Amino acid sequence: MRIKLEGADKRGKVSLEEAIERRKSRRAFKRTALTKKQLSQLIWSAGKAPSAGATYPLELYVVIGKECAEDIDAGVYHAKRYSELDLHKEGDIREKLAVACLSQMFIADAPVSFVIAAEYERTTRRYGDRGIRYVHIEVGHVSQNIYLQCEALGLVTVAIGAFYDDEVARVLSLPEGQKPIYVMPVGVGL
């Protein structure tokens, strides 16, 4: 299944300075589903990060719970070109994801989690070992965009770096060669 995302708004209700000022990690989520518009806007923001030598090593996966996003079934989706969602794996895996993240169970409460995965080869092929550093820097750019976009939309998130890499890769069925680097649960704050 492929879902076309909506166009992003280029003008929000919160200024960039307000979003930077207010940004905070928040870990309590309401059950409220995200709208397709919110999801589209967040994915758009993730795709607007810089990339070393335009090597684009990152892939964004979206873990969606049951009745957690408008008109979208539970599953793991690949945010292809940051403009559509390709169903990658069916089912609500939020609890398994939370357990893989050292049982930070608040992750299972969030309607949606973004998982930023990297294929290091795309960048190390050009830059050698230094490419590893570039990939990690790049993930930080993507994460910050998601943090700030959440603030601008009145949503909450937290960057999660503590997880069992192999377990997260397994519960998402990530393609061979792609490693999870960051998890960001997103939702309406409690």
Ligand X SMILES: Cc1cc2nc3c(=O)[nH]c(=O)nc-3n(C[C@H](O)[C@H](O)[C@H](O)COP(=O)(O)O)c2cc1C
Which residues of the chain form contacts with ligand X (CB under 6 A)? 24-25, 27, 104, 158-162
Tokens representing 32 are 């409220």
Contacts of 186 (CB under 8 A, 6+ apart): 34, 42, 110, 111, 112, 113, 114, 146, 150, 155, 156, 157
Instruction: State which residue has the least CB distance to ligand X.
Output: 161
Measured from the CB atom, the residue of 91 and 161 that comes closer to ligand X is: 161
Measured from the CB atom, the residue of 5 and 160 that comes closer to ligand X is: 160
Measured from the CB atom, the residue of 27 and 36 that comes closer to ligand X is: 27
Query: Taking the complex as a whole, how short is the minimal distance between the CB of residue 111 and ligand X, in angstroms?
Result: 17
Q: In what order do the strands lie in the sheet with 179-187?
A: 2-4, 84-90, 75-80, 58-64, 112-118, 179-187, 156-157
Query: Taking the complex as a whole, how short is the minimal distance between the CB of residue 128 and ligand X, in angstroms?
Result: 24
CB count, 10 Å around CB of 59? 19
Identify the sign of the CA torsion 189, 160, 114, 41. positive
The residue with tokens 């008109």 is: 71
Measured from the CB atom, the residue of 44 and 163 that comes closer to ligand X is: 163
Query: Taking the complex as a whole, how short is the minimal distance between the CB of residue 102 and ligand X, in angstroms?
Result: 7
Query: Taking the complex as a whole, how short is the minimal distance between the CB of residue 63 and ligand X, in angstroms?
Result: 16
